[in-house]
Chain A
Amino acid sequence: MTTSLKLNGRLTIEELNALPEIPIEGITYDQMYIEKEPICPEYQAPDQDIIPLSNRSFVMDPGRICMPFGAMWAGVGVHKCIPFVQGAQGCTTYPRYTFCRIFREPVSIATASFHEETAVFGGRKNFIEGLRNLIIRYHPEVIAIVTVCSSEIIGDDMEGFLEEARDSLEEEFGPKIFDEVKFVIIHTPSFVGSHVEGYNRAAAAFLKTLAKRSTPNNKVNIIPGMITPGDIREIKHILKLMDIEGAILFDISGTLDCPLRLPQSMPYYPKGGTRVEEIVDMGSSLATFALCHDAGEAGATYLEKRFRVPAMIGPMPLGIRYTDSFIKNLSEITGKPITDEIKDERGILIDAMADTFHYTMGVRVAIYGDPDIAAAAARFSCELGMLPAIIGSGTESKQFVKDIWETAHEYDFEPVILNGSDMFEWEEHIKKNKIDLILGSSKAVNISKEANAPLVRIGFPIYDRVGYQRRAYVGYRGGEYLLDLIVNTLLESKFPDDRVHQ
């Protein structure tokens, strides 16, 4: 071996390539200096005056999508339901891409195929022809008609169009067609609210159109909000442990996380999803639990006003306290006792928290997500002894602020709350503060890298890792999973390997 080769200090890539030979003991990482090429010349903090959303007119890195997306999410959760989007082709294809990336499942959404002449003359012709085509080709049981910005601005009279379409369908197929297909209109102009509000409106629209009061059925209704299939399975598990019969409105666990079983029937429909009969029956239930205040509250309130089904709204059952309140409410409403199994599950989570608090205490965390998920994650962070310093929600929500302040008073801290702001503002706050951990979606990956704070993926959307749609964050078992994720992420990033052994 040549003695001329001295490896003291760091080598750049050029020097490394110029080496005559690699020393026999190899070159370790700390001897290499790999320069990253920055995209922009240097980070320059932008003008501080225009960082708060109220001081500027643009939105960058938005944490919300438009309303139709939420309505489509809801529609996809119903058995044999195809959302029909009264808008341009992109309004269906972009959401389908988004669903595919997150859930890795095929998603059927039909388009009214708006073009120039539609923008001028309105969407009546496309709507009537489109419903007919959709019924002939796919034989859906429900069609969720979703409007978008263009059809709302043009002023398409959807109710009137639907009447016309029904007349022509009756003429062609006879009156039995209305037993086979139900129509639900969801008005979701994209320039108002966000996907969360779209889901909320869809819940109300489905119940208004379909739910009826008949003999009481001893069930509880659950409107889960925009949570993952895994979460919904966990809710079902809790209901089963307590021996409660539940009906879930928009059960995406059966449609957006499906088994692959051959041979496949044609046309492809997932086996699961909420049945129409279940929705009809929701008017006779014991109570309605809307797990997310902002996504589902409208549906629960409608049932309360119209059919006197008590509405139990929020908070999302994530972490100890919020899950406790969910389970207590369930037990009170149904009169079923809280079983030993559930107490054990709670005990296991508490035990896990006791075993790990040394890692989590005092960790400063930044949170961003949909309002209910962010509020619940903030509460759980506090329960772990962490300090949620910056909490942002993409959708504006009064309840979110209320929940956060309640948590803040209880745990005595002063958070920065960004209500309905974008990730650009959130990012600037992170850069100014010391943050150890980020709880957010895949949209926060770059921010986490720049801020040198590891990311725990939670909420919507997660498209750069697999399996998150199958995992639960809600309930005690979901809390366990989230706790493990948080602690393991901290262990991996904050401690050298030899300090993590037990």
Chain B
Amino acid sequence: MKDCLNYNMGTHLVQKRKSGADLPLCSRPSTPGKITQRSCAFYGARWMLAPLEDAIHIVHGPVGCAYYGGAVRGRSFRVFSTALEEKDIVFGGTKRLIRTLKEARIIIPHARYCFVYATCSAAIIGDDIDGICKEMEKEFGCRVIFVNCPGFKRDSQASGHRVAYESLLDGLIGQGERAEVGAHDVNIIGDYNINGESMALKSLLEKMGIRVRCIFTGHADYEGIIAAHRVKLNLLICQNSARFLAEALQKRYGIPYLEVTFLGLSQTMASLRRIGQYFGLERQAEKIIATAYKAIKPGLDRLLPGLKGKKAALFFGAARMASLVKALDDMGMEVTFTGSQFGDLAAYKEAWQNVDPGAYIIDDASEHDLERLLDELRPDVFMGGIKEQFLSHKFGIGFCLFPQLKCAGPYVGFQGFLNLAGSVHNAVYAPVWKLATPNL
């Protein structure tokens, strides 16, 4: 393992020791020549804004960016592309953008707002997209929002998340009002409804008597976003990319926020209790916890004994790197390494607190780093995104696609914990791993 530490990683890889707090280097651009798992700012912005389906989305750039940007969170979305060609690159693409905006209005006349995304080429040739957006806003009489997310912006997709939240904050939030504001109205910030999480969270909180007004951006629409400042509390789930929005709403509109997470049994319970405490709904919270736990108990009794003591490894976008460690801890599993593509210092601090001594924490692992870690630590299950999935399989290690495994259902809340335990159990005990060891 020592070799791995010295292997040109700098200190992007650290091991937790009993004393002293080493955190990995983070929030830096990837080294050139790396097979990085990171993506670009445009990817981040699309990831955030794609599910706002009542809007017009225009990608100002070559056709490839629109092709890739149409598939987000494992679903397909419709985007308009200006499909810049050679002559536009030479003479500027502004005319094309203006025409596209007008034509998009004809195709989707009922759209209430538009997003215009900048890409690398559009930014380098220097089209004045911001100016055009302002101009068209007057003509259309609806919001036309410029999302300044050229791919090379800052070091990873996190910058795209930030830009997307900024554009929502400056472009939409606070533009409208709400007729009535209940005493228990909340927004959820940082849930992305990849696998039905938004609905699961909403129904869980509604049972407690809490009304979820808007979920950024898993379940959001125009009305919800423009009046997002008229709630009593924000629940912050993704603590990496979304913290910015929660803090900005607190600063601008005085809405407090609670950091919660619904991954894993203990964290779900603690979060529900905190929310209950805030609103004075402790009794309801306890009632929900008791009934929900009772409902999943038989399932857990069946699954958890098999998972006890098994080793897991994690590599994600960012926020789940820390919270999932706790969830696996609830299952009695041990985390050998955890890491993220673009986590910030706060995220790594949290991960560091959650893991046991001896575990590794890695920032922006390249494919090679993951190979080495998998090969040397041999976890029983590896959890991450689709790019890591097939690499893990090649090394004979079971993989749990998290959270995009569509066949398993959402992984948040109580039922979600059971779903997660089931998926991890499947990944560990699939007969294929026994058959894969050569016996010929």
Binding site for B on A (CB under 8 A): 39-41, 46-47, 50, 56-62, 64-69, 82, 84, 87-94, 96-98, 100-101, 104-106, 108-116, 118-119, 125-127, 129-134, 136-138, 148-150, 153-154, 189-192, 194, 258, 260-264, 266-268, 443, 446
On whether A66 and B67 interact (CB within 8 A), knowing A56-B103, A100-B387, A114-B152, the answer reads yes
On whether A192 and B85 interact (CB within 8 A), knowing A57-B103, A106-B367, the answer reads yes
Q: Which residue of B lies closest to A69 (CB)?
A: B64
A residues in contact with B66, CB < 8 Å? 59, 62
Let me know if B124 and A60 touch, CB within 8 A. Answer: no
Contact pattern, B 57-98, Cβ under 8 Å of A = 1, otherwise 0: 010011111111011000010111111111011000000100
Q: Which residue of B lies closest to A191 (CB)?
A: B62
A248 to B372, CA, bound (A): 32
A105 to B41, CA, bound (A): 25
Let me know if A154 and B124 touch, CB within 8 A. Answer: yes
A residues in contact with B103, CB < 8 Å? 50, 56-58
Let me know if A266 and B121 touch, CB within 8 A. Answer: no
Query: Residues of B within 8 Å of A, CB-based: how many?
Result: 81
Total number of residue pairs linking A and B with CB closer than 8 Å = 240
Let me know if B371 and A100 touch, CB within 8 A. Answer: no
- A90 interface neighbour in B70, B89, B151, B437, Cβ under 8 Å: B151
On whether A133 and B32 interact (CB within 8 A), knowing A58-B82, A153-B124, the answer reads yes
Binding site for A on B (CB under 8 A): 8, 29-43, 53, 58, 61-68, 70-71, 76, 78-86, 88-89, 96, 99-100, 103-104, 106-108, 110, 119-121, 123-125, 150-157, 366-368, 371-372, 375, 386-387, 389-391, 393-396, 436-438
**Subset of 5 A-B contacts with CB under 8 Å:** A113-B32, A115-B154, A258-B394, A260-B436, A262-B437
Let me know if A119 and B152 touch, CB within 8 A. Answer: yes
- A108 interface neighbour in B84, B125, B367, Cβ under 8 Å: B367
A260 to B395, CA, bound (A): 8
A36 to chain B, nearest CB (A): 16
B residues in contact with A115, CB < 8 Å? 29, 152-155
A residues in contact with B367, CB < 8 Å? 106, 108
A150 to B150, CA, bound (A): 10
A191 to B63, CA, bound (A): 7
Let me know if B89 and A191 touch, CB within 8 A. Answer: yes
Let me know if A126 and B36 touch, CB within 8 A. Answer: no
A138 to B155, CA, bound (A): 23
Let me know if B43 and A150 touch, CB within 8 A. Answer: no
Taking A66-B63, A92-B36, A191-B85 as known contacts, 20 extra A-B pairs with beta carbons closer than 8 A to each other, sorted by chain A number, are: A46-B107, A58-B82, A62-B66, A62-B83, A82-B35, A90-B39, A93-B37, A100-B390, A105-B390, A109-B35, A110-B33, A130-B31, A130-B33, A137-B34, A138-B368, A149-B121, A150-B120, A190-B64, A194-B63, A262-B396
Let me know if A191 and B156 touch, CB within 8 A. Answer: no
Let me know if A93 and B38 touch, CB within 8 A. Answer: yes
On whether A58 and B81 interact (CB within 8 A), knowing A90-B39, A446-B76, the answer reads yes
Let me know if B394 and A106 touch, CB within 8 A. Answer: yes
B residues in contact with A189, CB < 8 Å? 86
- A136 interface neighbour in B8, B32, B83, B154, Cβ under 8 Å: B8
A132 to B155, CA, bound (A): 21
A127 to B33, CA, bound (A): 8
Let me know if A150 and B151 touch, CB within 8 A. Answer: yes
B58 to chain A, nearest CB (A): 8
Q: Which residue of A lies closest to B30 (CB)?
A: A113
On whether A58 and B83 interact (CB within 8 A), knowing A94-B43, A106-B391, A262-B437, the answer reads yes
